Structure 1
Amino acid sequence: MEIKIDDLTGGEVISLLEEHLADMYATSPAESVHALDIKALKDPSITFYSCWKDTTLLGCVALRELDANHAELKSMRTASNARQLGVASMLMQHILTIAAQRNYQKISLETGSMDFFKPARQLYKKYDFEYCGPFDDYQLDENSKFMSRNI
């Protein structure tokens, strides 16, 4: 598997992100969806990564710099044909390595509170993320869970 910085122009990546957004809107009330669209993911504060095996897209993740010490994990998604292959763990390890290289002191994330998001929350706990309050511009929301960990 290879993880690389992605420019968000490939059809496979766009399709995966569209699937991700569709699931978020199908699972959460619109006002509680914090997933970013492709235009938002192209913001200079965000580095977007895709994971590949040969020419097959396996997943993606983004890292958004909130400030010099704090980053946010965004848009983590494993392709449906790559579930249970360790892709999410590989992406998480990659993001944590990048965060350490950039000298961030903390990485945070927002995810849903519904059962649909339970596997994601279990993955984050496995990597020592702990529940916390809202960060950055987020507001308290019963449909959101906020997590962070020190680097």
Structure 2
Amino acid sequence: MPAFAIAAEDPATPDIAALIGQHLAEMHACSPACKVHAMPAARLAQTDVTFYAARVDGALAAVGALKALDATAGEIKSMRAADEWRGTGAGPAILAHILREARARGYRWVGLETGRHPVFGPAQRLYAAHGFRECAPFAGYVSDDFSLCMGLPLA
């Protein structure tokens, strides 16, 4: 597995913005617009979100963000590995980083919303491998044929 350098970065950085754009396009291609909860770069730059990038020798491998829900809970947003880095451990590396940050903040729970379309299968398996389980909808989400909420208690 490559050594990923993971740090908070500006989502408007050109290579990051391009990956976020690709992510949004993919979400819109397989979900109704009202079910696309991925955030654009401008929203990911707001103060309630910390945005991270994983790089190897400067090359962007993956992105992900941690959104504060309240003092005890957070939400994972915009997890995406660049196509050429899929299967290299980039996704697990950035997820582990985000979970460490959530624990460092003192969060007792972290959740996420993902899709049910087959394209989301790898993401669902990644989250499940890290202990996430389907949970009740939170933060205004609705679990249905398109949306799946998953949560992880942190202790």
**SS of 2:142's equivalent?**
coil
- Identity, % of aligned pairs? 37
- State yes or no: 1:100 paired with 2:84: no
- Residues 25-63 of structure 1, C-alpha deviations (whole Å, 9 max, x = no match): 001011110000011111110000001011210010000
Q: 1:107-118 to 2 correspondence within 5 Å?
A: 107-118=110-121
**SS of 2:80's equivalent?**
strand
In the alignment, structure 1 segments of 5+ residues that lack a partner are: none
* Separation in 2, partners of 1:49, 1:113: 25
- Structure 1 length normalisation: TM-score? 0.97
* Separation in 1, partners of 2:28, 2:46: 22
- State yes or no: 1:19 paired with 2:18: no
- Alignment partner, residue 60 of structure 1: 63
> Aligned-residue CA RMSD in angstroms?
0.8
- State yes or no: 1:139 paired with 2:125: no
- Structure 2 length normalisation: TM-score? 0.95
**SS of 1:44's equivalent?**
coil
Contact 1:32 1:141 in 2 (8 A): no
Q: Supply the AA of the counterpart residue of 2:10.
A: D
Aligned residues: 151
- Residues 62-117 of structure 1, C-alpha deviations (whole Å, 9 max, x = no match): 00000000100000000001111000110111011001100000000000011110
* Separation in 1, partners of 2:92, 2:125: 11
* Separation in 2, partners of 1:109, 1:140: 12
